């Protein structure tokens, strides 16, 4: 089967690639994918498996002094809320600093 394709406004053929998975192990919960998504695909949730020892990482020596623009709060992570609302624009992958998202083209019916 051929993948779904369309034309851009400029007449260039374009194939959407829809979100298929999100690696929560590498996700830092920055929210960039959530902010850029034009649909309701993502939500911020509590990171599973976080134990009490990990929650007490407020020691200033633990984090390096580099201001990388990310929150040091690692207790939250992104989750796929409504996968079927994805329109295949891949904006989420373009803004993800940790390459957490997987995409696939869909076949035309």
What tens digit of pLDDT does each residue of 37-78 get? 999 999 999 987 644 434 444 444 444 445 555 454 568 999
Inter-residue contact 82 to 46 (CB < 8 Å) = no
Residue 75's pLDDT is 86
Residue 104's pLDDT is 95
Domains of the chain by residue range = 6-104
Q: How much is the average pLDDT of 105-109?
A: 76
DSSP code at position 75: T
pTM score of the predicted model? 0.71
Report which of 45, 30, 33, 47 is spatially closest to residue 86, judged by C-alpha positions. 33
- Candidates 3.30.360.10, 3.90.76.10, 3.90.1150.10, 3.30.70.20; correct CATH number of 6-104? 3.30.70.20
Residue 51's pLDDT is 47
């Amino acid at each position: 089967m051929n993948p779904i394709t369309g034309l851009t406004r400029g007449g260039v053929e374009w194939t959407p690639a829809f979100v298929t998975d999100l690696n929560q192990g590498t996700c830092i919960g920055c929210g960039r994918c959530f902010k850029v998504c034009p649909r309701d695909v993502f939500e911020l949730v509590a990171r599973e498996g976080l134990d009490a020892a990990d929650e007490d990482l407020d020691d200033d020596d633990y984090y390096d002094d580099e201001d990388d623009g990310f929150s040091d709060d690692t207790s939250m992570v992104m989750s796929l809320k409504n996968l079927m609302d994805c329109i295949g624009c891949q904006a989420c992958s373009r803004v993800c600093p940790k390459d957490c998202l997987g995409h696939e083209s869909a076949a035309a019916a």
